Amino acid sequence: MTTALTSTSWPAALTPEQLAIVDIPTPFLITDLDAVARRLAAFRSALPGIQPFYAMKCNPSPEILSTVRANGASFEIASLGELRMLERLGVDPAEVLYSNPVKPPSHIAAAYAAGLWRFSFDSPNELRKLAEHAPGSAVYLRLHVDDADSAFPLSRKFGAEPHEGSDLLVLARRLGLRPYGITFHVGSQCSSTDAWRQAIDTAGKIMASLLDEGIRLEMLDIGGGFPARYAGDVPSIEEIGAVVMAAIGDVLPYQPGLLAAEPGRHLVAEAGVMAASVIGREVRGGENWLFVDVGAYHGMMETIQLPEGWAFPVRTSVTASGSASVIASAELPFTVTGPSCDSSDTMFYGLSLPAAIDVGDVLYIGSAGAYTLSYASDFNGFPPPTPLFIGG
């Protein structure tokens, strides 16, 4: 049974009592921008000297982008569309990393024309595209590293094998490009601090081998994967930072001029709470079902992406002894599903909720600030959550 938990990650400014006074229809996603700023400050403190480049794909809301920018972060993009969003906010493309290893030629050319000069790659084919559409640009190699301890491994789709690394960066120089750096990604929501150490060690070996070719790299980008807290424990940013900083000092043959990272989920997930109203309660085959007005296709896509599901912290508006409570005096397990006619639009199984919950009550889903609005659609005619912001 999945239990609705009180998570220490829940923003203090977004308790059910406080959210009850929000006078707009559900669903809505409310984000505490001050919480985002605090997360970024903690990240920088745990990883001193490492510049964060916010991975904007996880939440590209202008309010989020403005907050991380105001607090000293740069940006990492995956498309020309994301670059255009940043340009509208006044961000200089020269300060942006384009870390998608496989890019449309037209996006490369347009980004280069706008002044972006650093591009990732993981193959000879991508290098040839870059040489044609962004001649002379700086390129950084995306490595395939062990991401087995992450919720969403990425290595099947991206990453050159370590034994190819030196040759690829030498090829970049031969094609008139600037061998600039190395990056990797230990997988989204990584639960192993050692994953970063192993990846940094691999990068260090390539850096050392390149010295024989007269190539000294200018950047090491330790990528993303920094976890957020949902309904279970994950390594703290302080624990990850201790491992990363020790590895940088221990295993690199030299320290590049730029140490970078690409946090996304870690900065914004815990700052957001999704509010969804109960629109139906039924019994199906002996199971208690709750139908709510937000589903997988309207922002909660991650709940259906893993075979074992995804346990978000959940609170409700149902009261016990006159105050909003996580666990009322009596509970039942519920299957919680979205509003659409698609049966796969089901988010939680065996979620323990107050037995009295019924139509008109509200579920508050915590740690909902990442990969929710960016995934949300109006599938079946149901609108995405309304974005709201406090603080900042």
CATH of the domain at 147: 3.20.20.10
- Residue finishing a domain among 208, 243, 263: 263
- In whole angstroms, what is the distance from residue 178 CA to residue 353 CA? 57
This prediction has a pTM of 0.92
Same domain, 84 and 215: yes
| pLDDT at residue 168, rounded to an integer | 98
58 is catalytic: no
Domain count, the chain: 2
- Other residues' Cβ atoms within 10 Å of the Cβ of residue 72: 12
| pLDDT at residue 153, rounded to an integer | 64
Rounded to whole angstroms, the maximal C-alpha distance in the chain is 73
3-class DSSP state for residue 362? strand
Using the predicted structure, report yes or no on whether residue 137 has a pLDDT greater than 80: yes
The domain containing residue 135 runs over which residues?
60-263
In a domain, 48, yes or no: no
In a domain, 181, yes or no: yes
Of the ranges 209-223, 233-247, 319-333, which one carries the lowest mean pLDDT score? 319-333
Mean pLDDT, rounded, of the chain: 91
| pLDDT at residue 320, rounded to an integer | 43
In a domain, 151, yes or no: yes
| pLDDT at residue 380, rounded to an integer | 94
pLDDT tens digits for range 261-312:
999 999 999 999 999 999 999 999 999 999 999 999 999 998 888 777 788 9
Same domain, 129 and 189: yes
pLDDT tens digits for range 89-112:
999 999 999 999 999 999 999 999
Of the ranges 1-15, 45-59, 250-264, which one carries the lowest mean pLDDT score? 1-15
Same domain, 82 and 102: yes
Of the ranges 32-46, 180-194, 279-293, which one carries the lowest mean pLDDT score? 180-194
Cis, bond preceding 27 (omega within 30 deg of 0): yes
Question: What is the pLDDT confidence band of residue 182, given thresholds at 50, 70 and 90?
Answer: very high
Same domain, 239 and 347: no
In a domain, 45, yes or no: no
Same domain, 255 and 277: no
Using the predicted structure, report yes or no on whether residue 371 has a pLDDT greater than 70: yes
Same domain, 140 and 235: yes
- Residue finishing a domain among 263, 292, 325: 263
In a domain, 55, yes or no: no
Same domain, 234 and 277: no
Select which of 341, 343, 360, 381 is catalytic.
Answer: 341
Question: What is the pLDDT confidence band of residue 325, given thresholds at 50, 70 and 90?
Answer: very low
> What is the rounded average pLDDT of the residues 119-146?
96
Using the predicted structure, report yes or no on whether residue 327 has a pLDDT greater than 80: no
Using the predicted structure, report yes or no on whether residue 161 has a pLDDT greater than 90: yes
| pLDDT at residue 209, rounded to an integer | 97
Same domain, 255 and 128: yes
Burial of 267 (0-12, 13-18, 19+ CB in 10 A): buried
pLDDT tens digits for range 339-364:
999 988 999 999 999 999 999 999 99
Same domain, 292 and 256: no
| pLDDT at residue 1, rounded to an integer | 32
3-class DSSP state for residue 291? strand
- In whole angstroms, what is the distance from residue 80 CA to residue 87 CA? 10
Same domain, 225 and 198: yes
Q: What is the CATH number of the domain that holds 276?
A: 2.40.37.10
81, amino acid identity = G
Contact (CB, 8 A) for 229 and 311: no
Same domain, 241 and 274: no
- Residue finishing a domain among 263, 297, 319: 263
In a domain, 139, yes or no: yes
Quick one: what percent of the chain has pLDDT higher than 90?
81
| pLDDT at residue 321, rounded to an integer | 38
Contact (CB, 8 A) for 273 and 315: no
Same domain, 139 and 204: yes
In a domain, 168, yes or no: yes
In a domain, 112, yes or no: yes
- Would you mind telling me the total number of residues written for the chain in this entry? 392
